[in-house]
Amino acid sequence: MKCANPGVVAGPAALSALAALALLAGAAPARAAETTVGISHGIDKLTGPRADWHETALTLRHQLAPRSGFGLGATRIERFGIHETQFSANADLPLSERLTASIDGTASGDHQILARHALGATLQYEFAKGWLVHGGGRSSSYNDAHVNQSLLMLERYVGNYSFAGAWRAARALGATAHSGELRANYYYGERSAVGLSLAAGKEAANIGGVTRLGSVRSAALTGRHWLDQRWAVTYALGHTRQGDFYTRNGINLGLQATY
């Protein structure tokens, strides 16, 4: 069966390779007053007769200070024979010595698969040395559904490592879905990092006009390796089992330049 709106997701599969890379980059130490331009391309192979998914992204990030900056992006996707373009913007702002606010938004002119528009906000609080708690929400509007998501995450930094556990809840298509994620990162060199994440939970989908909750499990390996002070390569390998619908295996490679 084909999902009536394959873009409406409310579980661990909603985290794309680009999003995972952004989280990894955000956790790595950042220098003040720098601009980073990036380009990446990803391919996902689905089981059965379904065509491959493709995703190409251009990103621009200007870092004003270690906890302050803003970014812009444009992503072109191809899924289920449909092509769409999504534009995004994000910003981070320190509210105090320990509290940081982040906001992000996306918009798509085509919005057959992707959200017509979405807006999210997160607060990060360092309540003890090496301990952070994250909480936030996100609201996304699709052609035939509205998705409200919430996030609660605990993060711990120990030496060159960080560990995190997250809980997500989403209300979509008249159903509520919950998911959990475990993540570990290793930092090496000045700003390079590699991370592993495991996620599992339920995902809401509208199939033939009926809302169903399907089990979703995913694993991802992501990284950013700096070649020198200016150039870095990004990579991501992911595996997702989307209930009984399909299994998806993907790879994403990118290049970044910092000025």
Predicted confidence (pLDDT) per residue in 89-144, tens digit:
999 999 999 999 999 999 998 888 888 999 999 999 999 999 999 999 999 998 87
What are 89's strand-pairing partners? 72, 105
Predicted confidence (pLDDT) per residue in 231-249, tens digit:
999 999 999 998 888 899 9
Pick from 191, 148, 142, 187: nearest CA to 36: 191
Tell me if 80 is assigned to some domain: yes
Give me the domain span that covers residue 26.
Answer: 12-32+40-258
Contacts of 83 (CB under 8 A, 6+ apart): 76, 77, 110
Q: What is the CATH number of the domain that holds 128?
A: 2.40.160.40
Predicted confidence (pLDDT) per residue in 159-181, tens digit:
999 999 999 999 887 788 899 99
Kindly state the helix (H) or strand (E) to which residue 199 belongs, with its residue range: strand 192-207
Q: What pLDDT is recorded for position 208? A: 44
Tell me if 72 is assigned to some domain: yes
Q: Is the pLDDT of residue 259 over 50?
A: yes
Tell me if 3 is assigned to some domain: no
Tell me if 52 is assigned to some domain: yes
Pick from 197, 218, 206: nearest CA to 174: 206
Q: Total structural domains in the chain?
A: 1
Q: Is the pLDDT of residue 205 over 70?
A: no
Report the first-to-last Cα separation within the chain, whole angstroms.
48
Please tell me which of 28-32, 37-41, 200-204 the model is most confident about, judged by mean pLDDT. Answer: 37-41
Tell me if 2 is assigned to some domain: no
Tell me if 7 is assigned to some domain: no
How far apart are the C-alpha atoms of 62 and 26, rounded to whole Å? 12
Give the SS3 label for residue 27.
helix
Q: What pLDDT is recorded for position 130? A: 96
